[in-house]
Amino acid sequence: MPKTPPSILLLLRRELIRLGDPRRASGQQAYMKSVMPYHGVATEPLRAACREIFAHLEFASHAAWQRQVLALWRGARFREERYAAIALTGHKLARPFQTPAAMPLYEEIIVSGAWWDYVDDVASHRVGPILRDHPAPMKRRMLAWSKSPDMWKRRTSIICQLGFKRDTDLRLLYACIEPSIDSKEFFLRKAIGWALRQHAWTDPAEVKRYVAKNRARLSPLSIREALKNL
């Protein structure tokens, strides 16, 4: 009987063990305050390993792609393996799948990942492009997420337009900030300031106006971040 070929996760784990540095791993884990351990692989070798292992993958359908991503995400025992799952969401063959139909997958990653290294990547590089390409349904979803009990969905709604520059929908941005504008959560305060600071590169006068109007409600952290480069 022929042997079953090793899974993508197993292939990846073997390569990351080979590339890993235990001393680096302990520092990474401490820095990220992570319960999940690291292999100790730097960013570029990790990307190279993903490119090599994912090079021959094929996805017959959206469902097949999602199964591969979730097999990595749910089966991961090390943090880099979850980074690889996020990398797989951006595989070139997955471009046709970047539609609102992918949002339940990204929602699972955001909610179960529940930390900035996962969430910020997905928010800006996956959710944002879907918002750009499918504005009507995605605006409704981001507005709903902005009021979610889940802090990371709120953060996603605020920062998903980071790369939009002049295409930023300010009405949507401000509406997504509003439910969290007086939040005590550090990651929401930081997200508000980050989103405003990013838009300030394009329209500094508008960001100054918004901060001045809402100074009494914005946290000092949000104000400091928003105006940092002005």
In the predicted model, what is the mean pLDDT of residues 2-17?
A: 80
Determine the angle formed by the axes of helices 151-159 and 186-200, rounding to 10 degrees.
0
pLDDT at 6: 61
Spatial distance between the Cα atoms of 202 and 87, rounded to a whole number of angstroms: 29
The pLDDT > 90 percentage for the chain reads 96
With contact defined as beta carbons under 8 Å apart, do 195 and 161 qualify? yes
Closest CA to 190 of 111, 123, 106: 123
Give residue-wise pLDDT tens across range 186-214: 999 999 999 999 999 999 999 999 999 99
In the predicted model, what is the mean pLDDT of residues 55-63?
A: 93
Give residue-wise pLDDT tens across range 116-172: 999 999 999 999 999 999 999 999 999 999 999 999 999 999 999 999 999 999 999
Torsion sign, CA atoms 74, 131, 226, 229: positive
Spell out the alpha helix ranges (H) of the chain: 8-19, 22-32, 43-54, 62-75, 79-89, 103-113, 116-122, 128-133, 135-145, 151-159, 170-177, 186-200, 204-214, 220-226
Please, what are the domains in the chain?
1-97 (1.25.10.90)
The pLDDT > 70 percentage for the chain reads 97
